[in-house]
Amino acid sequence: MDMKRDYYEDIQLFKSNVVLFWSAVLLLALFTIPLYAPNYYIYLLNIIMVHVILAVGLNILVGSTGQISLGHAGFFAIGAYGTAFLMSMFQVPFVFAIFIAAFIAAFFGFILGLPALRLEGPYLAIVSLGFGLTIMHIIGGMDVFGGRMGIKVPPLDLGIKQLGISWVLKTDIQKYYLILIMTILLVVGARNILKTRVGRSFVAIRDSDIAAEVIGVNLTIYKTLAFAVSAFYAGIAGGLFGFVLGFFDPFTFNMILSVIFLVMVVVGGLGTIQGGILGAILITYLQYDFLKNIAEVPYLGALMVAISKQWFTTVGLENFSSMAIGLIMIGIIIFEPLGMFGVWIRMKKYWMTWPF
Amino acid sequence: MPVGQLLVEGLAIGACYGLFATAVVIIYKTSEVVNFAQGEMAMFSSFVAFHILSVYQLPFWAAFVITMIFSILLGILIEYFFLRPAKHPSILGLIVITLGAEMFLMGLAGWKWGAEQKFFSLPLDPSLTYEPVKGMIINNWAIAVFAVTTCIMLLLYVFFKYTRLGVAMRATQQNKHAAKIMGIRTERVLSFAWGSSSLIGAIAGMFFASRATLDPAFMMEPFLRAFAAAVLGGLMSIPGVIIGGGLMGLIENFFGYYQWKPIIAFIVIILVLCLRPSGLFTKHFVKKV
């Protein structure tokens, strides 16, 4: 069904005119959403898009290269703190600040990639988990970064202060367009990375690192590169996330956040761009909207409150969200290991080959 | 603080890490799953003990027995409902399942008991101390930890060496298919491993809880440090893990300032895994292609 006949067919951005058409429709819809969606949803969409950037980056590492990372909250924190710190302390213009912060994150990704050369599976998961915790504690222990009290983000000024140009984005809608453009660029970038020699090396490492080494893929370069690229995406996402929130403290970037990032990739579908996007949308929506306000959902909300009153505590109802996400994680591995993208592929196959 | 004091405290907390790491190792040995939910299983059991003590006002020994039974059931149920239905999961799949169990338990505990910190105390008077050598004060808590750890180690040694079930567990670890052919019900062995590991974890969790406070996230960092201890000793050997735990406690007490303690664990894991990936006390194995 998905057969590629030559190389150019493999690398083209849109597989067919149908895909091109629907992509254009999607873009148009995304650019016009602020015209009719309420402001709260714009905020939600901002967070979703930040998580899409991160999930796409993490999918390059986990899905395409086969390395496990439970430390992406660390890179996310480096991006957020780096951007805010550079802008408020050194008056670096936004565009440079976010890229410098992302490159710092990428450098840390490279550092984390070094032990990953000798580790795999659960060991790598633990090392990256420790890395994420370490970053959180180091940032929390340094007073320059506001310590445990957190840090307030400077105004999002797209201009260059040194030249006297100032273009401050204040509302969520203005930020929405900035984040949307960044997201589109980065997602297309990730897709293109995976279509190049580098991307094919990543996939070769995932399928068998020993075989990849035998056919001439330099493991040292490509494994650390995968970590660096993924950390770069996390850094950019973190920088934008800081501006969406406006205020954050080190405990925003705890271990649970890393787990949730991994869940996005696993739930969406490993190794595909669409999977990362789908997972980020679903999990972020559940976490920030549906499960967070579950008490206000019609029927179900009343039931949950009643259950809480009977057997649990109503104050603790917010913790239901982590319970539900835990069940989703277990369920997806048991029932649908390919994630939501796997469901989509099955549906597509069913309709394309119908009635067989 | 004098050196002797640091030594005793380091060894005591290290014994706790070792005990908890033993729980991790039992599961890893039998099923090659690194159980990320181990900390939260212990946390949940400690909360059950806390609930029995504070709401039902039962004496401590009754609460202890009920908690132990509960923790065994918890381990068996998690294995039965979460891990067993997964058909040939990948390593990532196993990690995601145990992380999911962790999130589930954490959410459940938060829903039931709220996120605020609780105080959990063992029936040990912390002011009661002994000073066998000058400058080396041992408190009741440390003595209890040493006693319990020694008992559990002896029991485990006897269990793995002399009982039929222990031998069956070792056989399952070495070769699952051969063990099955020999008539060992490997599923049952797995259940048993999860149950006993959960029990040991719950005991360690109660020690940790009485030393700090009890809240749904309190086992997260002890888990990482216990895992560092397990890696130090090699994930496959139980005596090695106890020595690793002791070393970990000493390293942390001698070189770690309060806020850098989690980083120490991280550095230990990285160094050990990079220099001697199979741990200090186990034989090196080479991956076959």
Q: What is the 3-state secondary structure (H, E, C) of chain B?
A: CCHHHHHHHHHHHHHHHHHHHHHHHHHHHHHCCCCCCHHHHHHHHHHHHHHHHHHHCCCHHHHHHHHHHHHHHHHHHHHHHHHCCCCCCCHHHHHHHHHHHHHHHHHHHHHHHCCCCECCCCCCCCCCEEEEECCEEEEHHHHHHHHHHHHHHHHHHHHHHHCHHHHHHHHHHHCHHHHHHCCCCHHHHHHHHHHHHHHHHHHHHHHHHHHCCECCCCCHHHHHHHHHHHHHHCCCCHHHHHHHHHHHHHHHHHHCCHHHHHHHHHHHHHHHHHHCCCCCCCCCCCCCC
The minimum CA-CA distance between A53 and chain B, rounded to whole Å, is 21
pLDDT attached to residue A155:
83
Closest-CA distance of chain A to residue B91, Å? 6
Q: Is B127 on the interface with A (CB under 8 A)?
A: no
Compute the average pLDDT of residues B220-244: 84
Per the domain annotation, does A328 fall within a domain? no
Residue A261 pLDDT? 93
Portion 268-287 of B in contact with A at CB < 8 A: 269-270, 273-274, 277
Residues of chain B in contact with residue A266, where contact means CB-CB under 8 angstroms, are: 92, 96
Look over chain A and give the mean of its residue pLDDT values, rounded to a whole number: 87
Average pLDDT over residues B214-229: 84
pTM of the model: 0.90
- What is the per-residue pLDDT for B258? 64
pLDDT-wise least confident of A228-237, B8-17, B267-276: B267-276
Suggest the residue from B24, B83, B92 to mutate for an interface test with chain A (most A CBs closer than 10 A).
B92
Q: Is the pLDDT of residue B161 over 60?
A: yes
Least confident range of A305-319, B59-73, B97-111, B176-190: A305-319
Contact B273 A326 (CB under 8 A): no
Q: Is the pLDDT of residue A321 over 90?
A: no
Q: Is some CB atom of chain A closer than 8 A to the CB atom of B111? A: yes
Whether A322 is in a domain gets the answer no
Interface test with B, best of A128, A330, A335 (most B CBs within 10 A): A330
Look at residue A80 and tell me whether its pLDDT is greater than 70: yes
Asked whether the predicted pLDDT for residue A240 surpasses 90, the reply is yes
Q: What is the pLDDT of residue B59?
A: 87
pLDDT value for B142: 85
What does the pLDDT look like over B257-267, one tens digit per residue?
666 776 777 78
Provide the pLDDT confidence category of residue B289 given band limits of 50, 70 and 90: low
A134: nearest CA in chain B?
B263
Q: In chain A, which residue's Cα lies nearest the Cα of B114?
A: A316
Output the pLDDT for position A7: 80
The CA distance from B2 to the nearest CA of chain A, in Å, is 27
At residue B175 the predicted structure's pLDDT band, cuts being 50, 70 and 90, is confident
Pairing of strands A168-169, B136-139: unpaired
**Given CB atoms, is B255 within the 8 Å cutoff of chain A?**
no
Give the domain extent around A134: 37-254
**Is the N-terminal amide bond of A298 cis, ω within 30° of 0?**
no
Which of A183-187, B14-18, B95-99, B228-232 has the least mean pLDDT?
Answer: B228-232
- Per-residue pLDDT tens for A241-280? 999 988 888 888 888 899 999 999 999 988 888 899 999 9
Mean pLDDT for the stretch of residues A326-349: 89
pLDDT of A1 > 60? The answer is no
Over 70: is that where the pLDDT of A153 sits?
A: yes
Chain A hits for B80, CB-CB cut-off 8 Å, are none
Among B135, B139, B111, smallest CA distance to B125 is for: B139
pLDDT at A312 > cutoff 90: no
pLDDT cut 70: percent of chain A above it: 99
Mean pLDDT of A145-155: 80
| Contact assignment for A319 to B115 by CB distance below 8 Å | yes
A322, A327, A332, best to mutate vs chain B, most B CBs in 10 Å: A322
pLDDT in the model for residue B257: 66
Overall average pLDDT of the B16-42 stretch: 89
Q: Residue B50 pLDDT more than 70?
A: yes
Judging contacts by C-beta atoms under 8 Å, the chain B residues touching residue A61 are: none
Residues of B in contact with A313 (CB under 8 A): 111-114
Quote the distance between the C-alpha of residue A183 and its chain's center: 10
Contact A115/B270, CB-based, under 8 Å? yes
Task: Tell me if A68 and B91 make a contact (CB, 8 A cut-off).
Answer: yes
Residue range A15-22: mean pLDDT, rounded: 85
The pLDDT value recorded for residue A37 is 82
pLDDT value, residue A317 = 79
Q: How confident is the model at residue A337 (pLDDT cuts 50, 70, 90)?
A: confident
* Residue A90 placed within a domain: yes
- pLDDT category at A290 given cuts 50, 70, 90 is confident
Alpha-carbon separation of residue B178 from A86, A144, B83, B165 (angstroms): 61, 59, 21, 16
Looking at residue B8, what is its pLDDT? 84
Nearest chain A Cα distance for residue B161, angstroms: 28
Strand bridging mode A247-248 / B136-139: unpaired
With respect to residue A18, please indicate whether it lies within any of the assigned structural domains.
Answer: no
Residue B287 has a pLDDT of 56
pLDDT at B30 over 90: no
Asked if residue A85 is part of any domain, the answer here is yes
**pLDDT at residue B1 above 70?**
no
Q: In the predicted model, what is the mean pLDDT of residues B86-106?
A: 89
Task: Give B97's pLDDT tier (boundaries 50, 70, 90).
Answer: very high
Mean pLDDT of A172-198: 91
The ipTM assigned to this model is 0.88
The pLDDT confidence band at residue B288, using thresholds 50, 70 and 90, is low
pLDDT for residue B195: 93
- B224 or B102: which carries more pLDDT confidence? B102
Residue found by looking up tokens 């950390």 in the block: A231
Angular region, A246: left φ>0, alpha ψ -120 to 50, beta rest: left
pLDDT band for A198, please (50, 70, 90 cuts).
very high
A333 vs B100: CB contact, 8 Å cut-off?
A: yes
Q: What is the average pLDDT across A157-170?
A: 78
Statement: residue B256 has pLDDT above 70: no
Q: At what angle do helices B164-174 and B140-162 cross, to 10 degrees?
A: 80
Looking at the 3D structure of chain A, how many domains does it have? 1
- Residues of chain B with pLDDT > 90, as a percent, come to 26
Confidence of residue B139 (pLDDT cuts 50, 70, 90): confident
Model pLDDT, residue B282: 64
Question: Which residues neighbour B7 within 8 Å (Cβ) at sequence distance 6 or greater?
Answer: B136, B250, B253
Note the pLDDT tens digit of each residue in A101-117.
Answer: 999 999 999 999 888 88
- Residue A332 domain-assigned? no
- Check B269 against A126: CB less than 8 A apart: yes
The predicted pLDDT at position A265 comes to 92
Q: Is A118 or B203 the better-scoring residue by pLDDT?
A: B203
Kindly indicate the confidence band of residue A41, based on its pLDDT and cuts at 50, 70 and 90.
Answer: confident
Residue B249 confidence (pLDDT) above 90:
no
- List all residues 6 or more positions away from A235 whose beta carbon is below 8 Å from its beta carbon: A75, A76, A78, A79, A82, A98, A101, A102, A103, A104, A105, A106
Q: Is residue A278 part of a domain?
A: no
Q: Do A119 and B277 touch (CB under 8 A)?
A: yes
Domain assignment present for A129: yes
